[in-house]
Amino acid sequence: LLFTRDENEVPVDFGLAPAEAEYLESMQRFFDTWFPEKDGLPFGEGVSGHSPSGAYLDDEFHAWIQLEHHYNERLSDAGFRGADWPVEYGGGGRSSLDQWLLMEEQCYRHLPNGDITIRSVSRALMQFGSDAQKRELLPLILRGEVLFSVAYTEPDAGSDLASLRTRAVRDGEDYLVTGQKIYTTFAQRATHIWLAVRTGTEESRHRGISVLIVPVDTPGVTIQNLPVQGGEKTNEVFFDGTRVPAANLVGNENEGWAAITAALAHERMQMHSDVTRLVEYLARWLRALPSDMEPGRQEWADRELASLAADLEVGRLLALQTVVLMDEGVTPISEAASAKIWLTELRLRLVSVALDLIAALGRDCTRDRDELARFEDAYLYAPVRRFAGGTNQVLRSVVAQRGLGLPRS
């Protein structure tokens, strides 16, 4: 009686629909054709924005930017860029799952995978931007010709973003902006800055914040590289009475908080990462080891790997769940935070364990220099992920309060 269910009603389903599998295959063919893996990786190790040398605006970085530009054009031509954007904005109208599959594939192949402009800023722009802004910027974003750098954080406003102090004062048809931003990643390559400013009183917190779109070549904008471990291209950006047209205000004055939180939420949704590939590297490395190791070593190495692989599966499923909920029309705030916490914690643990294993089992590490360098680079960069895009401590509070319903502190 209970189980005479409608043939069309599917219970829990973990399979890809034929159309989704087909889409996945089409993107795999595309990448195999245009960006095959030969002589290492098509973009080197520096895909996430860190170059092994850590050099700033060096030849290597310029070459990388050229390559990425070419890459974005190809993606755009093939309809993969903005595949999940609404059709009215020139997108492909595809599902979040399709988009996630694309980003996972890119990530796995060490290809740039959905920059912050197309994934996050553009979404806030669609929701809060003026018609003129959308008309002008969205098509260029789709082509990869407009790239944003996001400027929220200040020296005294990190996790407590609502305390930011960079000031914008109305002056006729313009705003005059004064203040300093920090950890403004990729500003040196961006065309525009997505800038959070204080337009309300000093005490107005999130009710007095606005968002301005500032072209990087605006007079009075100074971008200064801030060298960090791992070589990520981040900066300090100074505004000294910088004149920005009021037409560049996103949404209404003092209502920028909604645009910021929307953009941040999109940054965390569709989480994906190169943890998968790193686990594979480690597994292959372990497998290639000679079998005459000291008794017992193989076994504990296997168990370390098993534990990482088991946690990787959980990360994949948490990310997938987020995407599936998005396609069901749910905004997965707590779920997205969960996936972000899990995957970023796992990444640091993975690279740390990998280096320990290589140290313990590698014997002559120089022989496996490539593997060692890969995990050393990843080790330097891994901590950033745990606090960037919403620090994991704040996100745990999000999971506790929004997910579990615990009282606000």
Partner 1 sequence: MHTSDSEDQAMLREIVRGIVASHTDAAERNRIEQSPHGFDLSVEEALGQLELHSAVVDGIASLTTVACVFEELGRSAVATPFTRGLLAFVFLAAARGSDSAIDLLEQRGPRIALGRRRIGENGSPSETVELGWADVADHALVYSTVGGPLLELFPLDEAEYEPLESFDTERTSRVLLEPGVGTALDGTTLSIASGVMSVNLLSAAGLIGLAQGATELTVNYVSQRQQFGQAIGKFQSVQHALADVSIRTTGARLGVYEALWLLEHDKPVDRLSAIAVYQATVASMEATHAAVQFHGGIGHTIDYGLHHYYRRAKAEGIRLGGRLEALQRVAVEIRATPDPVVLRHLPPRVVLEDVAR
Biggest CA–CA distance in the chain, Å, is: 78
Q: What is the distance between the alpha carbons of residues 49 and 380, in angstroms, rounded to a whole number?
A: 13
- Is residue 341 close enough to count as binding partner 1 by CB under 8 A? yes
Identify which of residues 69 and 277 has a Cβ nearer to partner 1 in the complex.
277
Smallest separation, CB 276 to partner 1 (Å): 6
- Is residue 41 close enough to count as binding partner 1 by CB under 8 A? no
Cα angle value 224/225/226 (rounded, 5°): 115
Q: What is the distance between the alpha carbons of residues 140 and 201, in angstroms, rounded to a whole number?
A: 35
Size of the site for partner 1 (CB under 8 A): 64
Q: What's the DSSP call for residue 252?
A: S
CB-count burial class (<10 Å; 0-12, 13-18, 19+) for 13: exposed
- Residue ranges in 70-99 that form contacts with partner 1 under rule CB under 8 A: 97
Q: What is the distance between the alpha carbons of residues 405 and 345, in angstroms, rounded to a whole number?
A: 23
- Is residue 404 close enough to count as binding partner 1 by CB under 8 A? yes
Q: What is the distance between the alpha carbons of residues 164 and 237, in angstroms, rounded to a whole number?
A: 14
CB-based contact 164:157 (threshold 8 Å): yes
Q: What's the DSSP call for residue 402?
A: I
- Is residue 331 close enough to count as binding partner 1 by CB under 8 A? no
Helix (H, G, I), strand (E, B) or coil at 285: helix
- Is residue 405 close enough to count as binding partner 1 by CB under 8 A? yes
Identify which of residues 215 and 362 has a Cβ nearer to partner 1 in the complex.
362
- Is residue 12 close enough to count as binding partner 1 by CB under 8 A? yes
Identify which of residues 21 and 132 has a Cβ nearer to partner 1 in the complex.
21
Residue from 279, 358, 361, 382 touching partner 1 (CB under 8 A): that is 279
Residues whose CB falls within 8 Å of the CB of residue 154, separated by 6 or more in sequence, listed in order: 164, 165, 166, 179, 180, 181, 182
Q: What is the distance between the alpha carbons of residues 331 and 87, in angstroms, rounded to a whole number?
A: 20
Residue from 178, 218, 225, 397 touching partner 1 (CB under 8 A): that is 397
Q: Is 267 a catalytic residue?
A: yes
Q: What is the distance between the alpha carbons of residues 242 and 267, in angstroms, rounded to a whole number?
A: 28
- Is residue 292 close enough to count as binding partner 1 by CB under 8 A? no
- Is residue 11 close enough to count as binding partner 1 by CB under 8 A? yes
Stretch that binds partner 1, among 128-136, 205-213, 337-345, 370-378 (CB under 8 A): 337-345
Smallest separation, CB 264 to partner 1 (Å): 18
- Is residue 260 close enough to count as binding partner 1 by CB under 8 A? no
The site map against partner 1 for 293-312 (x = CB under 8 A) is ------x--xx-xxx-xx-x
Q: What is the distance between the alpha carbons of residues 175 and 241, in angstroms, rounded to a whole number?
A: 9
- 175 sits in which H/E element: strand 174-182
Catalytic one among 154, 232, 267, 371?
A: 267
Kindly list the catalytic residues: 267
* Interacting residues with partner 1 (CB under 8 A): 1-5, 9-17, 20-21, 24, 97, 100-101, 104, 108, 276, 279-280, 283-284, 287, 299, 302-303, 305-307, 309-310, 312-318, 320-321, 324, 328, 335, 338, 341-342, 393, 396-397, 399-401, 403-409
